[in-house]
């Protein structure tokens, strides 16, 4: 039976001082980064062991194969795994560590093989066998680990809830839990075309490896958080009554988990379900809430005549063809265009209907629901920070024709792939990617979106095929643009990575040379020789041949020989060796200067100075060392040339330091909006120098911004992160509407006392 974790105050002499709560954002990020690094160290080693065990397992299975065909298939998969082993490790580690980033953003909710495992046997025929077997395998692995390590897992959940600002954490939202390892494996093995028995072997081997890996990671993370004073006094005791529900399955729950264990209420749409199902569930929940609110508010008068849908469509057609709207979209600049007042549309609609002589009529409840829902979608659009202001305003003019679509075609809300919905998604997404708040755009995207809006306003009648044709044309254009942008961004990233590699080599050389000359008083000529042209030569050798090569060793040895030769020798016996080494060094220096194309006259002067210093040493004399300010300046110039910017003296406020740490958790592809509405994306990050490569909406490199400079702009309000989302616009809109209606429904929920009084 599992043990419950209790925070007790027994044995006070062994207690550690708890950390003051709540934790600051910077402290939380620091703890998460440390936990992430602790996990990385174990994951890197464990995955190598896993791969070796997996290859051995395939060898056994190949020997046991009943036919040549089976053996050949397994050998092919084994070869593919070996070929991509480094990629598999990279992706597995990346996917697992990504959980810490998602946790910091409160977006971690991994439920593979857990939340969706309540499968009815009668429904098994519609489930793909491969997917079902994989789900069962993952469920079995996670259940075994979670049961076996119940105590440390509960401790992790308790402690990570502190890092989650007190909000409860379960296995699905805990970045250290077994399900995160399984999900990382599931996603990474998609690199290989593998299924059936071959995939089953992968999970069997992983099952054996995961127990030990989880033991190491959970022990280190729990120990670290305990030492940091985060719930340091957690104690275990035998449970009373039933065990925690995350360890018990409901009757008929094939995989031993309940949705509630993962923070999912059965009455709510499950975001982990398939996108189509999730949006369908959202829509059903929205309609239920809408009806609930309307009934309580008595929104529609009963018994009076109502307009039919045909009358509504006719009135909407008149509003759509409004000369004023078309003129505004056609002639107004992005800065001058005013967004449509959604609430005013309903008033105009009723006024239009009233002109038909049916003043006493009203809109039936179902149609009013459609009007409200379309209005809420466009209201969300006007508040969606992902979409630039200029595009929001432009797209708001689609409200009326899209309301007409909703009446013409009931599938508008029911089908996730409805052409009008997909068109709206595409327009919003293209605007977010390639248009600025002020209407400036790349690839002429604003004008393209404007052209679509104009065509809808002028030409859309009652034929949905017209929308489909617009969607096809617009998406064709977007695909071409995307290919150009991706190629440009890829080239910018590759160039930055190349520059970074060169910078890393220069820094390594600079560190190597400075280590050799540290605490040695040297003349300025020698410092200049070693820190500049010879360092350039060593960088060339390091890039071309690597630090394990003989050429690199010879280059470093030249530095050592230079230092040895200019050191005055008291013993006469060493002077012949000194002359011989001097000649060898001179030859090596000339050869090195030729390789890097160093200016001959400057090279000759440096070599002459070196020879003079050697002759002085032959006379048992030492040259005057460079003054300290000169040496410091030469070392500073060399360090900056290598790419090391020395800002140690620059004061950083606590707020700036916290912001810099927060920026380290952002993902590639994060968009920033700068003063004036300019949008730039983080395409690459240099971890050593903490510099972010920012590209524009065409994918071109614009700047390499330091983390501190970026943090200061954010604090000053001249830059902000745009909370991007991989979900399509319409899904985001439905989520937002659902949460708002849910809050509204709760707000007008009658109090128990009122209900009792009314009942009485």
pLDDT at position 363:
63
Longest pairwise C-alpha distance within the chain: 121
pLDDT per residue over 549-602, tens digit each? 999 999 999 999 898 888 876 677 778 888 888 899 999 999 999 988 989 998
Which of these, 617, 594, 622, 613, lies nearest to 528 by C-alpha position?
613
Report which of 699, 702, 694, 690 is spatially closest to residue 672, judged by C-alpha positions: 694
Structure tokens at 328: 């505004």
Closest CA to 428 of 377, 466, 462: 377
Mean pLDDT, residues 435-461 taken together: 87
pTM: 0.48
Task: Give the architecture (CATH level 2) of 654-724.
Answer: Roll (2.30)
Query: What confidence tens digit (pLDDT) does each residue in 369-379 have?
Result: 888 889 899 99
- What is the mean predicted confidence (pLDDT) over 213-219? 86
> Which residues, at least 6 apart from 85, have a Cβ–Cβ distance to it below 8 Å?
51
Mean pLDDT check: name the lowest of 264-273, 278-287, 496-505, 528-537: 264-273
User: Predicted confidence band at 309 (pLDDT cuts at 50, 70, 90)?
Assistant: low
Beta-carbon contacts of residue 672 (< 8 Å; ≥ 6 apart): 679, 680, 681, 682, 694, 710, 719, 720, 721, 722
pLDDT at 300: 39
Give residue 245's pLDDT. 35
Closest to 546 (Cα-Cα) out of 501, 513, 589, 585: 501
Average pLDDT of the chain? 78
| Length of the chain counted residue by residue | 760
Residue 445 has pLDDT above 70, yes or no: yes
Residue 614 has pLDDT above 60, yes or no: yes
pLDDT tens digits, one per residue of 150-190: 888 888 888 898 888 888 888 889 999 989 999 999 999 88
Q: What is the pLDDT of residue 724?
A: 61
DSSP string, 256-273: S--GGGGT--TTS--TTS
More confident residue, 419 or 676: 419
Task: Tell me if residue 332 falls in helix, strand or coil.
Answer: coil
**Which residues lie below 8 Å from residue 314, measured CB to CB, with a gap of 6+?**
none
Domain limits, the chain: 4-240, 275-462, 499-641, 654-724
The tens digit of pLDDT for each residue in 238-263 reads: 333 333 332 223 333 332 233 333 23
Higher pLDDT pick, 681 / 536: 536
Q: What is the mean pLDDT of residues 484-511?
A: 80
What mean pLDDT is predicted for residues 464-485? 90
Pair 178, 210: CB distance under 8 Å? yes
- For residue 472, pLDDT beyond 90: yes
CA nearest neighbour of 451 among 474, 482, 432: 474
- Who has greater pLDDT, 254 or 690? 690
Q: Phi and psi (nearest 5°) for 684?
A: -165, 155
What pLDDT does residue 260 have? 32
pLDDT recorded at residue 468 = 92
Percent composition of the chain: helix, strand, coil (DSSP 3-state, to 5): 65, 5, 30
Q: Within a 13 Å sphere around the CA of 278, how many CA atoms are in the beta-carbon half?
A: 16
The pLDDT assigned to 474 comes to: 93
Residues 629-665: tens digit of each pLDDT: 888 888 888 888 877 655 444 678 888 888 888 888 7
Residues of the chain with pLDDT > 70, as a percent, come to 81
Is the pLDDT reported for residue 119 higher than 60? no
The pLDDT of 20-34, averaged and rounded, is: 83
Q: How does pLDDT run across 120-145, given as a tens digit for each residue? A: 444 444 345 667 778 888 888 888 78
Q: Is the pLDDT score of 20 beyond 60?
A: no
Residue 236 pairs in a beta bridge with: 5
Q: Looking at the predicted structure, is the pLDDT value of residue 503 above 50? A: yes
**Mind listing the pLDDT tens digit for each residue in 314-362?**
777 777 766 566 767 777 788 888 888 887 877 777 777 666 555 445 5
pLDDT at 1: 29
Q: Per-residue pLDDT tens for 56-70?
A: 888 888 878 888 888
The per-residue pLDDT for 450 is 92
């Amino acid at each position: 039976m599992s043990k419950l974790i209790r925070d007790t105050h027994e044995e006070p002499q062994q207690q550690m001082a708890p950390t003051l709560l709540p934790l600051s954002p910077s402290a939380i990020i620091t703890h998460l980064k440390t936990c992430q690094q602790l996990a990385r160290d174990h994951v890197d080693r464990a995955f190598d062991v896993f791969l070796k065990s997996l290859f051995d397992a395939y060898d056994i299975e190949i020997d046991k194969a009943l036919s040549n065909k089976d053996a050949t298939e397994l050998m092919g998969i084994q070869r593919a795994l070996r070929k991509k082993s480094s990629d598999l490790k990279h992706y597995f580690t990346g996917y697992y560590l990504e959980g810490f980033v998602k946790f910091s953003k409160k977006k971690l909710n991994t439920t593979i093989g857990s939340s969706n495992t309540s499968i009815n046997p009668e429904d098994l025929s519609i489930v793909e066998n491969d997917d079902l077997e994989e789900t069962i395998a993952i469920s079995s692995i996670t259940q075994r680990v979670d049961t076996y390590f119940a105590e440390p897992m509960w401790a992790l959940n308790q402690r990570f809830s502190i890092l989650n600002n007190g909000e409860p954490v379960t296995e699905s939202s805990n970045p250290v839990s077994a399900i995160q390892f399984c999900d990382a494996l599931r996603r990474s093995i998609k690199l290989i075309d593998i299924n059936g028995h071959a995939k089953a072997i992968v999970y069997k081997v992983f099952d054996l490896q995961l127990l030990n890996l989880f033991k190491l990671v959970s022990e280190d993370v729990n120990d670290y958080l305990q030492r940091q004073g985060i719930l340091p006094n957690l104690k275990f005791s035998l449970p009373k009554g039933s065990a925690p529900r995350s360890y018990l399955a409901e009757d008929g729950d094939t995989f031993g988990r309940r949705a509630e264990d993962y923070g999912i209420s059965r009455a709510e749409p499950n975001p982990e379900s398939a996108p189509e199902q999730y949006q369908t569930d959202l829509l059903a929940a929205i309609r239920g809430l809408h009806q609930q609110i309307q009934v309580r508010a008595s929104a529609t008068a009963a018994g009076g005549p109502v307009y039919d849908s045909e009358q509504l469509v006719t009135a909407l057609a008149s509003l759509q063809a409004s000369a004023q709207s078309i003129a505004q979209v056609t002639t107004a600049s992005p800065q001058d265009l005013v967004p449509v007042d959604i609430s005013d549309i309903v008033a105009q609609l009723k006024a239009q209907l009233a002109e038909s002589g049916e003043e006493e009529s009203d809109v039936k409840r179902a149609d009013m629901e459609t009007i409200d829902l379309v209005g809420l979608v466009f209201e969300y659009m006007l508040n969606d920070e992902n979409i630039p202001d200029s595009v929001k305003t432009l797209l708001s003019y689609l409200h009326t024709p899209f309301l007409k679509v909703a009446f013409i075609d009931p599938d508008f809300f029911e089908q996730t792939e409805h052409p009008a919905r997909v068109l709206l998604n595409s327009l919003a997404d293209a605007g977010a990617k390639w248009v600025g708040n002020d209407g400036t755009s790349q690839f002429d995207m604003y004008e393209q979106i404007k052209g679509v809006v104009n065509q809808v306003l002028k030409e859309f009648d009652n034929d949905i095929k017209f929308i489909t044709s617009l969607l096809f044309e617009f998406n064709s254009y977007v695909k071409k643009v995307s290919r150009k942008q991706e190629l440009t961004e890829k080239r910018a990233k590759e160039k930055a990575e190349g520059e970074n590699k060169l910078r890393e080599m220069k820094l390594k050389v600079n560190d190597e040379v400075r280590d050799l000359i540290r605490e040695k008083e040297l003349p300025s000529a020698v410092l200049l020789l070693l820190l500049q042209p010879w360092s350039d030569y060593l960088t060339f050798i390091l890039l071309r041949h690597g630090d394990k090569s003989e050429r690199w060793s010879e280059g470093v040895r030249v530095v050592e020989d230079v230092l040895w030769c200019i050191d005055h020798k008291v013993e006469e016996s060493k002077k012949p060796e000194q002359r011989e080494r001097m000649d060898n060094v001179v030859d090596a220096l000339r050869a090195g200067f030729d390789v890097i194309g160093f200016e001959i006259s400057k090279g000759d002067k440096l070599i002459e100075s070196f020879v003079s210093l050697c002759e002085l040493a032959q006379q048992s004399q030492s040259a005057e060392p460079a003054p300290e300010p000169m040496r410091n300046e030469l070392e500073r110039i060399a360090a900056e040339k290598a790419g090391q910017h020395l800002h140690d003296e620059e004061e950083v406020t606590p707020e700036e330091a916290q912001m810099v740490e927060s920026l380290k958790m952002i993902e590639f592809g994060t968009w920033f909006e700068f003063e004036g509405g300019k949008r730039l994306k983080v395409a690459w990050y240099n971890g050593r120098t903490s510099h972010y490569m920012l590209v524009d909406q065409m994918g071109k490199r614009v700047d390499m911004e330091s983390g501190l400079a970026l943090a200061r702009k954010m604090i000053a309000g001249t830059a902000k992160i745009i909370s991007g989302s991989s979900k399509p616009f319409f899904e985001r809109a439905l989520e937002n509407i659902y949460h708002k209606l849910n809050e509204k429904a709760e707000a007008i929920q009658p109090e128990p006392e009122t209900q009792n009084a009314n009942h009485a």
